[in-house]
Amino acid sequence: MSYDLIIKNGKTITGQPIEIAINAGEIVKVADEINEKGEELIELNGDAYVSAGWIDDHVHCFEKMTLYYDFPDEIGVKKGVTTVIDAGTTGAENIHEFYDLVKKAKTNVYALVNISKWGIVEQDELADLSKVKEELVHKALTEMPDFVVGFKARMSKTVIGDNGIRPLEMAKKIQKANNGLPLMIHIGSAPPKLDEILAHMSKGDILTHCFNGKPNGILNQATSQIKDFAWAAYDKGIVFDIGHGTDSFNFEVAETALKEGMKATSISTDIYIRNREKGPVHDLSTTMEKLRVVGYDWPEIIEKVTSVPAGNFHFETKGHLKEGYDADITIFTIETGQKTLTDSNGFKREATELIKPVKTIIGGTVYDN
């Protein structure tokens, strides 16, 4: 039998040999060795790792915005990322325009619809609750079920004005009315207080910016311990997502959490053009390197950008190297080197293991990095 594409002489992140055959954009065979022929062949040298395509579940890539925007392929395929989820840049009034635009991208793009109907046009999109229209959100979901995979509400002081916890209550109501699709909650400065936010969240809801260094975060800065209510939320099954961003990842918080036994559920960037070009984010691989420096091992880091976000957002054919799954694959190396990593608060750590994507395969099409 002949295949469209065969990847030979690869290895998984745990060091197991792997070869993969692809037909019509789908993985059709996974084995230690494949002897059949392919129309196209990627012959690796034994040093390269092969994983399911990396998923960044918190980005901002609607290029027509002004506050937070980027271009899908600049943060996706060019960076080893096969799938991105735009986290609430657009709302029900402008998400159709975003949908039409991303059809041209090589990268797989999905979206969380902001519960505020115009998304993040201004910083305080939830200060005026008349912008939250449940029927418009439902309409967007109905019209674009293959694109809209959940909801986003930003619950921090600069966003909500004087509305307290009310926007989150509205978001939960919208979620309940729409088949319980995933809800991502951004956290930052109070009000509302983090304990109140977490009390309103349910198992499977995504708390992004989980390791931010703000007083309203999960770390008690007086005792240098994780707050009890944060542990209760974590144990309840709330998804703790990195969402690095310009202002939302702190090494000390991540390190303290790990010492206590708390690990981020998923790893994402909150990337947009400014923090991509000027830092501290740059790309998903840099965020992965930061979690490695914190003390995570590479196999779990890879899981947190593949199978875990695929599960959280109900991607039934992504996140695994298995027959019948989409041929979305990241080929990468891990090399010894030296690199200074900077968190959102200017604190630095030195990386000695550098992860570098070398080929990105999306729907069976190969792109070099």
246 assigned to some structural domain = yes
Phi and psi torsions of 188, nearest 5°: -165, -130
Residue list for the binding site for Zn(2+): 58, 60, 152, 186, 209, 270
In-domain check, residue 208: yes
Please check whether residues 46 and 61 belong to one and the same domain. Answer: no
> How many structural domains is the chain composed of?
2
Whole-number pLDDT of residue 135: 97
Same domain, 341 and 297: no
Question: Are residues 43 and 88 both part of a single domain?
Answer: no
What pLDDT score does 46 carry? 85
Regarding whether 142 and 22 lie in a shared domain, the answer is no
CA dist 108 and 77 (Å) reads 9
Q: What is the domain extent for residue 24?
A: 3-51+323-368
User: Is 351 buried (19+), middle (13-18) or exposed (0-12) by CB count in 10 A?
Assistant: middle
Q: Over the stretch 48-92, which tens digit does the pLDDT of each residue have?
A: 999 999 999 999 999 999 999 999 999 999 999 999 999 999 999
Structure tokens at 313: 């957002």
Same domain, 9 and 145: no
Q: Three-class SS string for the chain?
A: CEEEEEEEEEECCCCCEEEEEEECCEEEEEECCCCCEEEEEEECCCCCEEEECEEEEEECCCCCCCCCCCCHHHHCHHHCEEEEEEEEEEECCCHHHHHHHHCCCCCEEEEEEECECCCCCCCCCCCCHHHECHHHHHHHHHHCCCCEEEEEEEECHHHHCCCCCHHHHHHHHHHHHCCCCCEEEEECCCCCCHHHHHHHCCCCCEEECCCCCCCCCCEECCCCEECHHHHHHHHHCCEEECCCCCCCCCHHHHHHHHHHCCCCCECCCCECHHHHHCCCCCCHHHHHHHHHHHCCCHHHHHHCCCHHHHHHCCCCCCCCCCCCCECCEEEEEEEEEEEEEECCCCCEEEEEEEEEEEEEEECCEEEEC
Residues 99 and 45 in one domain: no
Last residue of a domain, one of 291, 313, 335: 313
**CATH number reported for the structural domain that contains residue 9 in this entry:** 2.30.40.10
Structural domain includes residue 36: yes
Indicate whether 318 belongs to any domain.
no
Question: Is the residue at 124 inside a domain?
Answer: yes
Considering the domain architecture, whether residues 187 and 330 belong to the same structural domain is answered as: no
Per the annotation, where are the binding residues? Answer: 58, 60, 152, 186, 209, 270
**Is the overall model pTM greater than 0.95, yes or no?**
yes
Asked whether residue 83 falls in the same domain as residue 117, the answer is yes
Domain identity same for 46 and 59: no
In a domain, 229, yes or no: yes
Residue 17 in domain: yes
Ranges of the chain whose pLDDT falls below 70: none
Do 302 and 350 share a structural domain? no
CATH, residue 246: 3.20.20.140
Q: Looking at the structure, do residues 30 and 104 belong to the same domain, yes or no?
A: no
If asked whether residues 30 and 118 sit together in one domain, one would say no
Q: Are 302 and 14 in contact (CB under 8 A)?
A: no
So what's the pLDDT on residue 1? 76
